[in-house]
Amino acid sequence: MNRTLQEQLADRILIHLRPHLKRRFEIKDLAKRFKAEISDFNTALRILNEWGYRFLQDKSKISFVSAPDILSATEIGHKLKTKFIGKVIHSFNTVKSTNDTARQLAEKGATEGTIVTAEKQTLGKGRLGRSWHSPEKMGIYVSIVLRPKFSPDKAPGLSIMSALAVAETLNEHSPKKVQIKWPNDILINGRKVSGVLTELSAEKNKINHVIVGIGINVKQSQIDFPPNFRAAATSLTCETGNEVSRVELLKQLLFCFEKEYLRYKKGQLAKSLPRIRKWSSLLNREVALRWNGATVTGRAVDIDLSGSLIIESAGNRMTVSSGEVTVVKE
Ligand code: BT5
């Protein structure tokens, strides 16, 4: 049997054993079930071991003991509680950008809720041509394909809706303060732990697809971030001292995301706004807005139903749907 066939056998054995923690199976029966020689079966087990799976083996019996913290389709799909987000999973070790891969799949007809994950991105994207640092197996890099029926003008609010899902997921793990920095950053303790990049494909009044890309720093130490933004970045491990499982965190995020998305489809941010306001790092602060090369200062007073930021400046109210905002005075 060549390596590919052995890997396929490993996959089939895994799917069979994975749901039954510590249940003992006769090796002979399993080999027969998979029409494999005992030697091939043992090679497949070695492959699973290389992937990080642990089994307990006594002479004739074997049981599944533990799974690695990897973002594979098997691990993400195991006990995932969502109805449609993440029901189709494309998981990769390395891609340039999960958003780009998701867009290509969407263009070929990928259904709503399809997700793309990677252990590492070589060209992870931020907004406006910036990049997202994506070291291997330290973070979550996921893109979600959405095909909402609403009109394209309602798409921008999906960014802050996604940020809300991330903030609420991270809050479950962080004793320190989680905040949403409008429109797409999630902070812990004032430092950026996650970012959202939403990309829209639409024509006339119809959305073809929206790709929501989410990057979360989970296991990085401070030293793992490049010096140019090290002081402004953090990870869940840095802030909590705990090693949180990336795959469990991703499953919680997908569950939370689905709930928020269903609410959004019914009434945009109506149900989510109170919580977005609660988590916001900008509201009631003096802020500077950079937009189209100009800077405006004023007070951030609200976020509206469509996710726009309302800034009061010199007696005028401005509704801002995109831009860079920084706090100038607490
Ligand atoms: C964002 O852009 O924050 C959106 C990031 C979205 C990343 C996800 S990962 C999965 C999916 N696939 C992709 O290719 N992208 C999405 P922006 O607001 O433009 O912030 C980018 C800036 O944040 C950079 O210019 C750096 O200063 C900083 N930065 C880069 N990587 C970071 C990291 N890992 N943690 C904290 N800050 C980072």
- Mind listing the pLDDT tens digit for each residue in 29-61? 999 999 999 999 999 999 999 999 999 998 899
Quote the ligand 1 centre to 131 CA distance (angstroms).
6
What was the pLDDT predicted at 330?
61
Q: Which atom of ligand 1 lies at the shortest distance from residue 124's CA?
A: 14
What was the pLDDT predicted at 2?
77
What was the pLDDT predicted at 329?
67
Quote the ligand 1 centre to 73 CA distance (angstroms).
24
Indicate whether residue 143 lines ligand 1 (CB < 6 A).
yes
Residue 1 has pLDDT above 80, yes or no: no
14 contacts: CB under 8 Å, gap ≥ 6: 48, 53, 74
Q: Render 78-133 in DSSP notation, one character per residue.
A: TT---SSTTSSEEEEEEES-HHHHHHHHHHTTPPTT-EEEEEEESS-B-STT-B--
CB under 8 Å, gap of 24 or more: what pairs does 99-105 form? 99/125, 99/143, 99/197, 99/199, 99/211, 99/213, 100/125, 101/143, 102/143, 102/144, 102/145, 102/211, 102/213, 103/199, 103/201, 103/209, 103/211, 105/145
Average pLDDT over residues 91-115: 98
State how far the Cα of 192 lies from the Cα of 189, in Å rounded to an integer: 9
Asked if residue 183 has a cis previous peptide bond (ω within 30° of 0), the answer is yes
**pLDDT tens-digit map of 166-178:** 999 999 999 999 9
Helices (H), the chain: 3-17, 27-33, 38-51, 73-77, 98-107, 157-171, 236-240, 246-267, 273-279
Q: Is 134 exposed, middle or buried (0-12, 13-18, 19+ CB in 10 A)?
A: buried
Question: What are the phi and psi torsion angles at 316 (to 5°)?
Answer: -105, 150
The answer to whether the CB of 74 falls within 8 A of the CB of 60 is no
**DSSP letter (8 states) at residue 308:** P
Quote the ligand 1 centre to 125 CA distance (angstroms).
6
Confidence category of residue 258, pLDDT binned at 50, 70, 90: very high
Residue 138 has pLDDT above 90, yes or no: yes
Confidence category of residue 102, pLDDT binned at 50, 70, 90: very high
Q: Which atom of ligand 1 lies at the shortest distance from residue 235's CA?
A: 35
Tell me the two tokens of residue 251: 């499953």
Dihedral (Cα; 258, 263, 268, 271), 10-degree rounding: -120
State how far the Cα of 93 lies from the Cα of 275, in Å rounded to an integer: 35
Write the residue with the smallest CA distance to atom 2 of ligand 1: 126
The region, left, alpha or beta by phi > 0 then psi within -120 to 50, assigned to residue 184 is alpha
State how far the Cα of 120 lies from the Cα of 141, in Å rounded to an integer: 7
Write the residue with the smallest CA distance to atom 34 of ligand 1: 133
* Helices H / strands E in the chain, number of each: 9, 15
**Mean pLDDT taken over the chain:** 95
State the Rg of the chain over Cα.
Answer: 22
Quote the ligand 1 centre to 159 CA distance (angstroms).
13
Q: Quick one: which of 16, 7, 91, 2 has its CA closest to 49?
A: 7
What was the pLDDT predicted at 120?
98
Region of poorest pLDDT, from 122-126, 287-291, 297-301: 287-291
